[in-house]
Structure 1
Amino acid sequence: RTWERAKLASMLDHVVVATDDEKIADCCRGFGADVIMTSESCRNGAERCSEALQKLNNKYDIVVNIQGDEPLIEPEIIDGIVKALQYSPDAVFSTAVTSLKSEDAFDPNRVKCVVDNHGYAIYFSRGLIPYNKSGKVNPNFPYLLHLGIQSYDANFLKIYPELPPTPLQLEEDLEQLKVLENGYKMRVIKVEHEAHGVDVPDDVEKIERYMRERNLS
């Protein structure tokens, strides 16, 4: 379903599935998706996208990484992060955030983000950020949840795997932090997006229930 949602985005010229798993590849080919096999050595989505880009014959200016566990991603969000990167020549990366639900505040599988006054990322964390002195969620603060979608400048994506891992990236296990720690800028757009991706097995039932309640196929 994630592939179907991606195909609806107007800013994408080509949608492919990049994977190192033959079972996933066979499944995707079964519903008509283009598949690029990547190596098992890819440490994150950015590295997998970089390898896939090298294997494509066409030249692209922007590459969008839409994680397969985002079956409810809206095409408008995909288009939005592409446009955000196009309109931000000082950035090499763009992504999207939405409002964080209070019940997800201390869930390490829900990545949080803080943004500066100009719409650029300051930091991403598995912990609650910002974190106040009371140690409790402030119901009046607009906490942000990072969504599993990002776009990269194609030239930057080619060098991303060559950048050595960084301390914050390794500690948080978040690929976005390697971009920030190396001094690059990341554009962030705020969107309305009610559902989150499938991060743990329990999320499958939540997403399926969400889809049933809204008659989504």
Structure 2
Amino acid sequence: MSVIIVIPARFASTRYPGKPLVELRGADGSKRSLIRRSWDAAGQVAGVDRVIVATDDSRIADHAAGFGAEVAMTSTTCRNGTERCAEVLAGLPETPEIVVNLQGDAPLTPAWFIEDLVAGLRAAPGAEVATPVLNCSGAMRADLLADRAAGRVGGTTAVFGQDGRALYFSKEVIPFVPHDIAPDAASPVFHHVGVYAYRPQALTAYAGWPEGRLEKLEGLEQLRFLEHGRPVLCVQVEARGREFWELNNPSDVERIESMMQRMGMG
């Protein structure tokens, strides 16, 4: 049973044009592009048969091919990474068991996040889509709130039921908490990690649906599944001492580089 990782990457990001080619300095002083670091992260995941960078931009394609990545050119009409993954799936000669969408802006994603995600989807035969969520410490919640207070659209949060099914995803910090939380204490807020695991039928169906109202308002592609009545399984993952953040805005470069320094990531 095969698992492939697709890394969607586009040059024309609204918040950060050219983001996949931005260079990040590691703890050893080396500088590698965001897309290269995301590809490196994918290469650490056990049980994966294939990693494909999916883009509609020749600059990203040439750069990715230059460091040895397999590249799939996708159309300029793809509105998000899930649609880009669906287009890659449609062009494969054989249908994999699971397609993982590793966003090209998440170079700090630990391998076990994806491994646990795939295991979670396999353990829930009735689920067609799964995504990881990470319990926020008081400090991480404070960082998310600080981004919103400063007018920056940063990380995404998730709320889900007792069965793990997502109730909603938002770029606001939800649920509301009416009291302060100590920096090193767990909070009731869960950071949505921008990775998805799909069964092929879910991807194929998604590509045929119009963009949802909530999806458009929040700018969150996974809401299209919820708006069409398809459950999304939230799989809780553990940080194991690792720091995690996604590169959404130019100001995130310094933050991620600082995290890499602290974690000794080259």
Query: One fold, TM greater than 0.5?
Result: yes
CA separation in 2, counterparts of 1:31 and 1:103?
A: 34
CA distance in 1, matches of 2:169, 2:125: 22
Are 1:57 and 2:97 an aligned pair?
A: no
| In structure 2, distance between residues paired with 1:152 and 1:137 | 37
Residue 58 (structure 1) shift:
2.5
Q: Secondary structure at the match of 2:244?
A: coil
User: Would the aligned equivalents of 1:11 and 1:82 in 2 still touch at CA under 8 Å?
Assistant: no
Q: 1:56-113 CA distances to partner (integer Å, 9 max, x unpaired)?
A: 2222121000011111111111111111111112211100111231221363321110
Alignment partner of 1:85 is 2:121: yes
Is 1:177 paired with 2:223?
Answer: yes
Structural mapping, 1:3-22, within 5 Å = 3-22=39-58
Work out the CA distance in 2 between the residues paired with 1:180 and 1:42. 19
Once residues 199 and 11 of structure 1 are traced to their aligned partners in structure 2, the CA distance between those partners, rounded to angstroms, is 28
2:78 is aligned to: 42
Q: Count the aligned residue pairs.
A: 215
Q: Distance in 2 between matches of 1:38 and 1:131?
A: 39
Corresponding residue number in structure 2 for 1:210: 259
Question: Structure 1 residues 137 and 47, CA, compared in 2 at 3 Å: closer, same or farther?
Answer: farther
* 1:24-173 → structure 2 map (5 Å cutoff): 24-100=60-136, 101=140, 102-105=142-145, 107=148, 108-131=153-176, 141-173=187-219
Q: Structure 1 residues 137, 62: closer, same or farther in 2, change over 3 A?
A: farther
Runs of 4 or more, structure 1, over 3 Å off, are 136-141
Identity rate, percent: 38
Per mean C-alpha deviation after superposition, the further-off stretch among 97-106 and 8-17 is: 97-106
Q: What SS class does the counterpart of residue 51 from structure 1 fall into? A: helix
- Partner Cα distance (1:109, 1:172) in 2: 12
What is the SS of the residue equivalent to 1:183?
coil
User: In the aligned structure 1, how far is the partner of 2:225 from the partner of 2:156?
Assistant: 16
Name which of structure 1's ranges 7-16 and 34-43 shifts more when overlaid on structure 2: 7-16
Task: Give the TM-score normalised by the residue count of structure 1.
Answer: 0.92
Deviation at 1:158, TM superposition (A): 1.0
Contact 1:90–1:185 at 8 Å: present in 2 too? Answer: no
Q: Which runs of 5+ in 1 are unaligned?
A: none
Alpha-carbon distance, 1:191 to partner: 1.7
The TM-score normalised by the length of structure 2 is: 0.76
- Which amino acid in 2 is paired with 1:121? A
Q: Structure 1 pair 212/88, CA: closer, same or farther in 2 (3 Å)?
A: same
Between stretches 153-162 and 43-52, larger displacement belongs to: 153-162
Match of 1:150, as an amino acid? Y
CA contact (8 A) 1:3 1:33 kept: yes
Provide the C-alpha distance between the structure 2 equivalents of 1:131 and 1:167, rounded to a whole number of angstroms. 23
Q: Matched residues in 2 for 1:24 and 1:79: separation?
A: 27
